[in-house]
Structure 1
């Protein structure tokens, strides 16, 4: 199976809350790092638990998935009721049809103001679809 398909299956399984299927996309000793919070999630069971115990009211929109040679890069949007919209850029390593490691950058969409000095160079808005 292509590495991009493994990542698609992962996101699809998370979205459908099929925790058994999520586990099947992850290596037993998977390690995922979240640099923004400096959290490291080690092991399939912990990664499934992090996803399954997230309070409900969220969905997942896969924006893009790209094969980047040794890694697969995905960008997803995660709207969550009463919280806002998260954007997640993930770098996944896939081997033997499972995700073996990842680095995920979770951020609140529009959650920070641009710097004052850049205002003369940039506008605030959403990119065209």
Structure 2
């Protein structure tokens, strides 16, 4: 299976809440780092638990998946009821058909104001995904 297909299957399995299938695309010793909160998730069981125990009311839209060989970059949107829309950029390492490591940048879409000094150079809006 190609690396991009592994990542697409991961997101599809998370969205459908098929936790067994999520585990099948993760290496047993997978390590995922969330720099925004400085959390490190070590091991397949912990990664499945982090996803499966997250409160419901969310969906996943895969916006882009980029293949650079053994490294795959994905951009997804995760709307969550009563919270807002998260955007996630993930940098995945894939080997032998499973995700072996990842770095995920989760942010609340539009959740931060731009800097005053940039206002004369920018506009606020949405770009198509």
TM-score, with length taken from structure 1: 0.98
Alpha-carbon distance in 1 for matches of 2:114, 2:122:
9
Q: In the TM superposition, what are the counterparts of 1:5-20 in structure 2 within 5 Å?
A: 5-20=5-20
Q: CA RMSD in A?
A: 0.7
Structure 1 segments, 4+ long, off by >6 Å, are: none
Alpha-carbon distance in 1 for matches of 2:95, 2:13:
18
* CA shift digits 1:82-119 (9 cap, x unpaired): 00000000000000000000000000000000000000
- What does residue 47 of structure 2 align with? 47
- Retained in 1: the 8 A contact 2:72–2:91? yes
- Retained in 1: the 8 A contact 2:34–2:106? yes
Structure 2 stretches lacking a partner, 5+ long:
none
TM-score, with length taken from structure 2: 0.98
* CA shift digits 1:25-48 (9 cap, x unpaired): 000000000000000000000000
SS for the counterpart of 2:62 is strand
- Retained in 1: the 8 A contact 2:70–2:95? no
Structure 1 stretches lacking a partner, 5+ long:
none
- What does residue 56 of structure 2 align with? 56
* CA shift digits 1:47-93 (9 cap, x unpaired): 00000000000000000000023310000000000000000000000
Once the two structures are TM-superposed, the CA of residue 19 in structure 1 deviates from its matched residue by 0.2
